[in-house]
Amino acid sequence: MSEILARLPEFISHHPLLSFGFIGVLVALIVTEVNRFTRGYRALTPAGLTQLINRDNPLLIDVSSVQDYEKGHVPGARHLPPSQLDPDGKDLAKARERPVALVCRTGQASAQAARKLAKAGFKQVYWLDGGLAAWIEAQMPVVKGRATG
């Protein structure tokens, strides 16, 4: 190990672009991970969402379009389109201290909704990484039917 460290300055002087590229990638990775831990909401796998549902009884919200929601959604999920996701609305304001899990078709819209709720002061916000597609791929149950919420 000491030989590697002794030859490191020589390597850097002979390969400056490679060295700067490595440092750039390392800094980007560190910044990304720090942001992930400090953003106020967390991504869940299908297994993680199942555990959250079983242990903490979260408010489960599907922010997909009505058509996508009716084609299939996580059991117990309430439909609420992103345009109606009001953190100060009467339904969501009651859940400010309760866990809130967001789901959509691909995970993109639910991540944006999670960001919005975390900024509004919600303490326990989660989103299903990969969305309903990941849920189905994990062979989890899906319910079809009309949006009631």
Asked if residue 145 is part of any domain, the answer here is no
Asked if residue 94 is part of any domain, the answer here is yes
Confidence at 148, pLDDT banded by 50, 70, 90: low
In this structure, the answer to whether residues 54 and 96 fall within a common structural domain is yes
Asked if residue 143 is part of any domain, the answer here is no
Asked if residue 68 is part of any domain, the answer here is yes
Predicted pLDDT of residue 40: 73
Q: Which two tokens stand for residue 144?
A: 């079809």
Asked if residue 142 is part of any domain, the answer here is no
Give how many domains the chain has, as a whole number: 2
In this structure, the answer to whether residues 19 and 61 fall within a common structural domain is no
Residue span of the structural domain in which 107 resides: 41-137
Average pLDDT over residues 97-125: 91
Predicted pLDDT of residue 147: 61
Selection from 126, 1, 5, 12 nearest residue 74 by Cα: 126
Predicted pLDDT of residue 38: 61
In this structure, the answer to whether residues 32 and 45 fall within a common structural domain is no
Structural contact between residues 73 and 64, judged by C-beta atoms closer than 8 angstroms: yes
Asked if residue 112 is part of any domain, the answer here is yes
Average pLDDT over residues 78-101: 84
Q: Which H, E and C letters describe 30-96, residue by residue?
A: HHHHHHHHHCCEEEECHHHHHHHHHHHCCEEEECCCHHHHHHCECCCCEECCHHHCCCCCHHHHCCC
Predicted pLDDT of residue 112: 92
In this structure, the answer to whether residues 93 and 30 fall within a common structural domain is no
Average pLDDT over residues 98-117: 93
In this structure, the answer to whether residues 78 and 98 fall within a common structural domain is yes
Predicted pLDDT of residue 96: 81
Summarised one tens digit per residue, pLDDT across range 28-73 is 988 877 776 666 789 999 999 999 999 999 999 999 999 999 999 9
In this structure, the answer to whether residues 47 and 28 fall within a common structural domain is no
Average pLDDT over residues 108-114: 93
